[in-house]
Amino acid sequence: MKRFLTAMAICAPFVASAQEIVVETLEIEPQTFESLRQPLGDVTSETVVGAVVAEGALLRGLDKLTGDLVDFELQNGYSLNFGALRVDMAQCRHPEDNATGEAYAYLTILENNGEGASVFEGWMIASSPALNALDHPRYDVWVLRCKTSQADGND
């Protein structure tokens, strides 16, 4: 009798957990696609806008540790120190028809005030700073706009 009760106690969870599985086939409705009502047309030409070399650029630096935000102007061919970084700017360019938009600057950024390794070298674009960004654990540097000699508020 003891064996029978022990066997029943062991098998009881398996008997209670048995379920019936029912498989149904569902109908799938066909998908319909609509075409565009207006034709997109053919691309036959592209517009190329000439770039103008500016005198320098307005850059912004962020110290992520202290939260300090600093704007600084840098002339073409010059360098400056920002925290432990040295920022060298070769050139800032912008489209002829839009001096305040689409500015892009060629920067070289070195650690240890110029004595360390290069942490960035390339073009930074003002309208898309994340496209080619400085990857540094403490500092961020990005381009705001080019500095021009025009009297339109860009100085």
Identify the pLDDT of residue 10: 73
Domain coordinates in residue numbering, the chain = 51-147
3-class DSSP string for 125-154: ECCCCCCCCCCCCCEEEEEEEEECCCCCCC
pLDDT tens sequence across 132-143: 889 899 999 999
Is the pTM above the cut of 0.85?
A: no
50 by DSSP, 3-state: which?
A: coil
